[in-house]
Structure formats: structure tokens, C-alpha cells
């Protein structure tokens, strides 16, 4: 089985539902350290087996997940753990004083039948809480609200920011983010989210731990380890880049437009988020200048190659990808306005199909998309140059 390494870099983003559909593990074994003669461990292992056979939202109606208000809101935030690899339960350990909360630690990846030789792809942590009267006497509970309850938090308009210990708070960035959310909703004439919770962490690892992912295979290199992501019904964000802090505009665009427009067109979704909000710590202008530099050093690469991820996953190639998406959103807006962008949001297809459709939204694009792509990038760099240059 092949496994595509998740791009965890400053550009990681997207709602959980955008990630690959979950595939339950074909088998669930217990490692030698898990003693099922202990009644709590035995019952929690049974609960875990039942859940992993079908890890989806039906777990609530089947009595496997807690229905407390916070759990009902969040549920399982780590659906990306379920990629079809065998699961091995490596620990059922106390997670709070007393005997009512346990952490279930699970490794996904190829394993031998004894569960002693593991090749970990993902290490997940689920929380089981005592729930008398439920099918197994225990239910799972969402990690994020449990882990962040003691954090400092602060409201800016519709957004509540939660700060991991040691994270610097910025009123300037919080206010900017709050105003930005309202301005994006106004631009697209959609209802802004009634409330957003945004969790600020120092690194992506720290952010992923909040949803119960302690380890997963990642890309290495400059730019990795930082990023933002949204999830749930678009009502929570994990923002893990201290350079960006509260003003993680790209993810905020997703939070406003994701739930309201429900577009499945990633070129629209990522394009508009990057056009209005940049990406990671890069402004839209920095994306365009990065794209222009990339085009200069890659004279033969096509727009389709870049949109298909054919440029690779190093930092420069990812900048070129997001810069291209931003450029397309910007061009559709200048040619067809918000109505044009909203029509484009409803188009679906592979990148090649979307490129073919673009002349319907971008006047004067001509017959050669690559020629347009290069000349339009140069024009965008000029257009966004700071005044006086």
C-alpha cells in the first residue's frame, strides 16, 4: 500500500472533510503492554474495536462517543488517522487523576501478527471517559476542548482566541482578524460565522496533538512544521505559526466561505483564500513574487504541472502552487467580479478541466494558458508593488 505523505508545512490547511475519505483499519490488535485482564482496559479495548470498525459520526448515535455539548460539537477531529492501515493498541493509560478518564494510544501502520514489530505511520490518542449505561460502559470524548480548557483566551469580535502556554497575544492582530472576517463575508454577501474558536500553538506538532495526533509522517525541510487548519463545521481553527499569530487570514477566508458556499472546487477554495489572505506568513504579493521567481527558474514548467503538484513539494513549488491559485482567483474577480467567482465555485473537475473552463471567467485569456500564466504573474507583481516603487 502506498501512503502519500501529508504536506505539513506553512501551507497545510483545509477542513477535515477535504482530506482523504477515511478507511477503517482492516484489523485491530493489542500490543503486549495492554493487559485486558484489567476490567477497565478490557472494556475500553472493546469500545475501541467497535469504534475503529466504523470511525464516523454515527458513533454518537451508537453510543460510542459522548454526547456532552462540547463532544457533540467537536466529535473526532482526527479522521485523517484512518487510512486503511492495521491498528495496534499500544496503551490504555490513565489520563486524569482517578479512574474515569483514559488515553487510548493507537499506532497505525504495517505490523506483524503478534503486534510486536510495528512500522508506524500514525500515532493517535483517543480519550475514553467512564459512561455508565452506554454499550461498553465507556465513551470517547474529544481531545481539543479537554486539553485547552486551562488556556488563556480572549475575544475579538466573532473569534475567541485560545493561547497555548507561552504564546504571545496581539490585540493588533486580533482586531485585524476580526475585521477581516466581516469584510470577507461582506464582499461575498454571505452570513459571517456566528462564532469561531481559534487555537494558537507554537508549532504544527503542538496543534496536531490537540486533535489527538501525536505523530504522523511528514515532509521535511524549510517551511515545514508550521501551518493552519480548520475543521468541524468550519467553526474551529488551529493556527500554528507564531509569525502570523491571530491574523491567519488565509484560514479565516476558509472559515467564512467554506460553510456558506460549500464549494468542492479546490482551485476556487485555495485560490480565494490565497488571493485575499496570502498563505501562511506570506502576503498575496509575496506569493506572486515567489511565483514569478519560480517561473524564471523553471522555464519549461506549465501552469497545469504546477496545479497538479508536479513541481514537487518543496517550499518554492508550494509557493508557486498557491501563487498560481491566487492569481487565477484575482483574475476571475477582475474580469467577472464576485458573481463570476461564485459561479466558478460551483465548477468541479480535475485541474486540466478547470484550466479549460477559465476563459469563460477571464476575458482576454487567449488560447495559450501558459503564456497567460507567465504574463499575468508579471502583471500581478507590478500591480501589487508598494506605492513609490
Instruction: Kindly tell me which of 71 and 251 has the beta carbon lying closer to Zn ion.
Output: 251
C-alpha to C-alpha distance for 218 and 123, rounded to whole angstroms: 13
Shortest gap between Cβ of 173 and Zn ion (angstroms)?
Answer: 19
The residue number whose beta carbon is nearest to Zn ion equals 13
Q: What is the DSSP string of 213-232?
A: EEEE-B--STTBT-EEEEET
Instruction: Kindly tell me which of 104 and 273 has the beta carbon lying closer to Zn ion.
Output: 273
Shortest gap between Cβ of 229 and Zn ion (angstroms)?
Answer: 9
Shortest gap between Cβ of 18 and Zn ion (angstroms)?
Answer: 9
Burial class (CB in 10 A: 0-12, 13-18, 19+), 135: middle
Residue burial 216-230, b: 16+ Cβ < 10 Å; e: rest = bebbeeebbbbbbbb
Shortest gap between Cβ of 83 and Zn ion (angstroms)?
Answer: 21
Helix or strand run (H / E) with residue 198: strand 196-200
Shortest gap between Cβ of 142 and Zn ion (angstroms)?
Answer: 23
Instruction: Kindly tell me which of 64 and 327 has the beta carbon lying closer to Zn ion.
Output: 327
Shortest gap between Cβ of 317 and Zn ion (angstroms)?
Answer: 16
Instruction: Kindly tell me which of 121 and 273 has the beta carbon lying closer to Zn ion.
Output: 273
Residue with cell 477566508: 253
C-alpha to C-alpha distance for 11 and 148, rounded to whole angstroms: 24
Instruction: Kindly tell me which of 34 and 267 has the beta carbon lying closer to Zn ion.
Output: 267
Shortest gap between Cβ of 213 and Zn ion (angstroms)?
Answer: 19
C-alpha to C-alpha distance for 373 and 348, rounded to whole angstroms: 21
Instruction: Kindly tell me which of 108 and 322 has the beta carbon lying closer to Zn ion.
Output: 322
Question: Are 348 and 264 a contacting pair, CB within 8 Å?
Answer: yes
Question: Are 380 and 328 a contacting pair, CB within 8 Å?
Answer: no
Q: How many CB atoms lie within 10 A of CB 379?
A: 13
Instruction: Kindly tell me which of 270 and 376 has the beta carbon lying closer to Zn ion.
Output: 270
Question: Are 359 and 365 a contacting pair, CB within 8 Å?
Answer: yes
Which positions touch Zn ion (CB under 5 A)? 13, 270, 273
C-alpha to C-alpha distance for 316 and 325, rounded to whole angstroms: 14
Amino acid at each position: 500500500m502506498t501512503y502519500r505523505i501529508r504536506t505539513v508545512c506553512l501551507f497545510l490547511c483545509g477542513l477535515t472533510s477535504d482530506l482523504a475519505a477515511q478507511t477503517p483499519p482492516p484489523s485491530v490488535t493489542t500490543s503486549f503492554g495492554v493487559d485486558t485482564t484489567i476490567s477497565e482496559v478490557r472494556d475500553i479495548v472493546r469500545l475501541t474495536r467497535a469504534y475503529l470498525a466504523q470511525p464516523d459520526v454515527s458513533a454518537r448515535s451508537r453510543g460510542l462517543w459522548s454526547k456532552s455539548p462540547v463532544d457533540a460539537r467537536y466529535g473526532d477531529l482526527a479522521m485523517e488517522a484512518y487510512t486503511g492501515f492495521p491498528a495496534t493498541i499500544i496503551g490504555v493509560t490513565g489520563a486524569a487523576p482517578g479512574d474515569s478518564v483514559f488515553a487510548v494510544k493507537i499506532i497505525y501502520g504495517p505490523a506483524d501478527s503478534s503486534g510486536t514489530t510495528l512500522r508506524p505511520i500514525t500515532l493517535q490518542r483517543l480519550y475514553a471517559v467512564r459512561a455508565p449505561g452506554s454499550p461498553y460502559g465507556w465513551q470517547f470524548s474529544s481531545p481539543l476542548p479537554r486539553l485547552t480548557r486551562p488556556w488563556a483566551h480572549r475575544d475579538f469580535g466573532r473569534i475567541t482566541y485560545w493561547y497555548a502556554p507561552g504564546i504571545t497575544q496581539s490585540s493588533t492582530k486580533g482586531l485585524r482578524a476580526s475585521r477581516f472576517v466581516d469584510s470577507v463575508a461582506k464582499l461575498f454577501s454571505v452570513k459571517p460565522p456566528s462564532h469561531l474558536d481559534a487555537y494558537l500553538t507554537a508549532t504544527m506538532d503542538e496543534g496536531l496533538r490537540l486533535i489527538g495526533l501525536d505523530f504522523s509522517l511528514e515532509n521535511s525541510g524549510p517551511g515545514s512544521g508550521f501551518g493552519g487548519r480548520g475543521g468541524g463545521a468550519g467553526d474551529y481553527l488551529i493556527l500554528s505559526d507564531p509569525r502570523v499569530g491571530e491574523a491567519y487570514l488565509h484560514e479565516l477566508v476558509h472559515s467564512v466561505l467554506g460553510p456558506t458556499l460549500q464549494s468542492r472546487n479546490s482551485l476556487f477554495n485555495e485560490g480565494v483564500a490565497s488571493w485575499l489572505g496570502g498563505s501562511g506568513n506570506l502576503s498575496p504579493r509575496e506569493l506572486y513574487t515567489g511565483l514569478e521567481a519560480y517561473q524564471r527558474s523553471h522555464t519549461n514548467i506549465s501552469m497545469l504541472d504546477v496545479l497538479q503538484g508536479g513541481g514537487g513539494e518543496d517550499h518554492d513549488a508550494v509557493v508557486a502552487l498557491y501563487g498560481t491559485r491566487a492569481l487565477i482567483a484575482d483574475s476571475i474577480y477582475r474580469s467577472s467580479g464576485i458573481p463570476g467567482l461564485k459561479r466558478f465555485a460551483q465548477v468541479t473537475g480535475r485541474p486540466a478541466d478547470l484550466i479549460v473552463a477559465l476563459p469563460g471567467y477571464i476575458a482576454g485569456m487567449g488560447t495559450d494558458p501558459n503564456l497567460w500564466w507567465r504574463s499575468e504573474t508579471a502583471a500581478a507583481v507590478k500591480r501589487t508593488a508598494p506605492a513609490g516603487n
